[in-house]
């Protein structure tokens, strides 16, 4: 989906991201299992986050992850190379040392899922405090959050069939492959998703490994991409939100990042691209950048052998590495008569280092 497209049908602007609402009118509150996580649009303003020093907790980890992976923990791999499910672990009780080990596990395996977490019921204060350990808070410029806890990004979909019909009248897919808030000077490293409510089947999240995609390229292509810098911007998202009548809490941010970044923990080279926030490349004409961008995105989207699909279940927490993955939600839980089944998720993002370019 291109963020540069603004589509008006019957004088309505279609949803920028089908998973998000823009104002209270599109939220059906009575059906929520967790009404305290109802998205709200408080008129609070956030200034641009200034540069800060970031120390990755993974650098403090035990290489064997002994503080996290105790004898009672059951480890299940989603795929051989990425994605891990940990059972018999409650995030509400793990130590800071175990969090260090968790950061290393996320850096290595990219996605870690924790089913049946009492942490879902711990409340926003405890959840925000947990994620503060992994980096500075991110404040979303346009989406709904929780009163008093602006670091929460609330993903909510329940019904709204006319909105869905307007969306699919113009779009062939609900998928929007991206890295979260990549336009920030120091984008998130670690991200938490918590499922509050969801369909019995469907609503998966698909991840692709950007380091795996880089490794598949020829040395000549790798060297060429290593030197490219691209412009990430939130301007299109903010402009679209204003057209849709939504609240904006931040000025647009535009940042130049390397197209290939070095992971600070694993040392892997990761393609830093998405279909949501990149507006062009430094020194390249638009048509040149479009050809490169289309190739790389298609490479990531079509390479199922470097992807992992996360199936959600009630009270599941997922943490993932935003530096070495690109992801999309899958909106396949739509009933033609009633619209979408309920899907209610919170997201907390921990801001990390400024993307590290490949050494010249």
- Structural domains of the chain, ranges and CATH numbers in brackets: 8-355 (3.60.130.10)
DSSP 8-state class, residue 56: -
- Provide the 3-class DSSP secondary structure of residue 221: helix
Phi-psi category of residue 92: left, alpha or beta, with phi > 0 → left and psi -120 to 50 → alpha: alpha
Among 150, 158, 190, 156, smallest CA distance to 55 is for: 190
How many residues are present in the chain? 360
- Provide the 3-class DSSP secondary structure of residue 38: coil
User: Cα–Cα distance between 100 and 276 in angstroms, integer?
Assistant: 31
Q: pLDDT tens digits for 19-73?
A: 666 556 555 555 788 999 999 888 889 999 999 999 999 999 999 999 999 999 9
Give the pLDDT band of residue 8 (cuts 50, 70, 90). very low
Phi first, then psi: what are they for 239, rounded to 5°?
A: -60, -40
Q: pLDDT tens digits for 228-277?
A: 999 999 998 898 888 878 889 999 999 999 999 999 999 999 999 988 89
From the CB of residue 67, how many other CB atoms can be counted at a distance below 10 Å?
A: 17
**Following DSSP, what letter does each residue of 148-204 receive, concatenated?**
TBTT-EEEEEEE-HHHHHHHHTT-S-----B-TTTTSSS-EEEEEEEEEE--SS---
């Amino acid at each position: 989906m291109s963020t540069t497209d603004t589509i008006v049908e019957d004088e309505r602007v279609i949803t920028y991201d089908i998973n998000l609402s823009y104002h209270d009118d599109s939220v059906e509150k009575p059906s929520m299992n967790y009404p305290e996580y109802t998205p709200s649009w408080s008129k609070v303003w956030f200034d641009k986050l200034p540069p800060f020093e970031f120390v990755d907790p993974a650098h403090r980890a035990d290489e064997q992850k002994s503080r996290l992976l105790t004898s009672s923990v059951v480890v299940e791999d989603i795929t051989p190379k990425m994605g891990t499910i940990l059972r018999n672990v409650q995030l509400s009780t793990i130590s800071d040392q175990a969090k260090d080990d968790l950061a290393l596990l996320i850096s290595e395996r990219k996605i870690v899922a924790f089913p049946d977490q009492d942490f879902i019921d711990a409340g926003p204060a405890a959840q925000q405090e947990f994620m503060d350990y992994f980096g500075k808070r991110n404040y979303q410029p346009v989406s709904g959050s929780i009163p008093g806890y602006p670091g929460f990004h609330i993903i909510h979909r329940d019904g709204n069939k006319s909105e869905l019909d307007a969306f699919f009248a113009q779009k062939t897919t609900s998928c929007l492959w991206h890295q979260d808030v990549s336009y920030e000077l120091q984008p998130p490293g670690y991200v938490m998703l918590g499922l509050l409510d969801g369909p019995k089947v469907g609503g998966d999240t698909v991840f692709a490994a950007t380091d795996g995609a880089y490794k598949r390229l020829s040395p000549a292509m790798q060297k060429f991409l290593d030197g490219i810098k691209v412009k990430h911007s939130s301007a299109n998202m903010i402009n679209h939100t204003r057209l849709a009548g939504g609240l904006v809490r931040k000025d647009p941010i535009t940042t130049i990042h390397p197209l290939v970044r070095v992971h600070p923990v694993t040392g892997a080279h990761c393609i830093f691209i998405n279909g949501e926030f990149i507006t062009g490349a430094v020194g390249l004409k638009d048509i040149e950048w479009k050809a490169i961008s289309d190739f790389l995105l298609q490479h990531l989207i079509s390479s199922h052998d470097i992807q992992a699909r996360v199936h959600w279940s009630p009270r599941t927490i997922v943490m993932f590495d935003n530096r070495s993955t690109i992801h999309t939600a899958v909106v396949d839980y739509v009933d033609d008569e009633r619209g979408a089944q309920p899907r209610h998720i919170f997201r907390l993002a921990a801001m990390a280092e400024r993307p590290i370019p490949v050494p010249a």
